[in-house]
Amino acid sequence: MDMVTILPYAIFGGISALIWFAVSHFSEKDDRVSERLMDIRDPGRRNKEQQEKSEGVSGMIGKAAPTLSKALKPKTELEESVLKVRMANAGFNSPTAPQVFLSIKLLSMIVGVIIGAAFGFISWGNTQSGWSAFAVGAGLGFYIPELVMGYLRMKRKQNIFLTMPDALDLLVVCVESGLGLDAGMRRVSEELSDTAPDICSEFNLANFQLQMGRPRREVLHDMGVRTGVDDMKALAAILIQADRFGSSIAQALRVQSDSMRVKRMQMAEEKAQKTAVQMIFPLVLFIFPGIFVVLVGPAAISMMDSLLAM
């Protein structure tokens, strides 16, 4: 076998060995003496380790996340805060969520490199097509987690926007019946936990932060930023102003709920008006050809028979 034939297999074997070495390095265990000393210092350590073992791959990724994410770590605090906001918009509020996401991106890129190299070099050898498949696999592996997170962000924002008027109506009823804003949000979270889990999780987190002693202004502002929904940001601003100036919170909630319902009705009317234009393409591509065959087909057959008879 010549060098050109052996080179793709050598590259694939080297990359696989590198991945195996990295995984074994991150998952290696301490010796028995060190484990006993750590058990004496922290009696609950063994239970934590058993829980991490039960988590499987997710536990290993969480343990190796700080190391793996260093290569893709944001260079400035602004980029890091933007990444945290994006993760929060997708529903991941854990402090380690950015590190886990960057680790998943790196691992996904490595998997893409392995698949692209295996497919490209085995199919085309050490040619331009083989290296192109190598680069395409790396690029797809790197950007697929971004696409998944973008979809999760969009879906969560849509769910919050669609369920927000109902939650606000129930919150208005709770506030007008004598409950405070904190107790009202807790009640809404209990009642709408099945139909609106996203907005209920945000209310629960806001209640938890309020119980921990954070100022209400900061909690409401962070809730608007975490959701990424403009209407939620407007609601947070209205509640902050109502709390500062001592105005009626129930009236502010009712005004915001009415405006959101009008906005949602306008969006529904807009989609209904677009339906007539959007129906043109399936009509032209799928329905009109069938109608032409039914209407023109018999006449065309009769004309062909007449021409053949002549």
Encode pLDDT of 159-216 as tens digits. 888 888 888 888 888 888 888 888 888 888 888 888 888 888 888 888 888 888 888 8
List all residues 6 or more positions away from 175 whose beta carbon is below 8 Å from its beta carbon: 181, 184, 249, 250, 253
Answer for the pair 68, 102: CB distance below 8 angstroms, yes or no: yes
- Give the pLDDT score at 184: 87
Q: What percent of the chain has pLDDT over 70?
A: 76
The secondary structure of 183-211 as a DSSP string is HHHHHHHHHSTTT-HHHHHHHHHHHHHHH
- Give the pLDDT score at 31: 47
- Give the pLDDT score at 23: 55
Q: Where are the domains of the chain?
A: 157-262
Nearest one of 108, 130, 136, 128 to 118, comparing CA atoms: 130
Q: Higher confidence at residue 174 or residue 47?
A: 174
Q: What is the CA radius of gyration of the chain?
A: 30
Answer for the pair 240, 217: CB distance below 8 angstroms, yes or no: yes
Answer for the pair 160, 229: CB distance below 8 angstroms, yes or no: yes
Q: What does the pLDDT look like over 5-27, one tens digit per residue?
A: 655 666 666 666 666 655 555 54
Inter-axis angle of helices 230-245 and 128-176, to 10 degrees? Answer: 40
Neighbours of 286 (CB within 10 A): 9
- Give the pLDDT score at 190: 87
* Average pLDDT of the residues of the chain: 78
- Distance in angstroms (rounded) separating the CA atoms of residues 201 and 224: 13
- Give the pLDDT score at 28: 44
Q: What percent of the chain has pLDDT over 90?
A: 2
What's the mean pLDDT in 231-244?
85
- Give the pLDDT score at 277: 84
pLDDT of 35 over the 70 cut: no
Tokens of 31: 């010796």
Q: Higher confidence at residue 58 or residue 161?
A: 161
Classify burial at 283, counting beta carbons within 10 Å of its beta carbon; exposed 0-12, middle 13-18, buried 19 or more: exposed
pLDDT of 30 over the 50 cut: no
Q: What does the pLDDT look like over 81-124, one tens digit per residue?
A: 888 888 888 888 888 888 888 888 888 888 888 888 887 777 77
pLDDT of 72 over the 80 cut: no
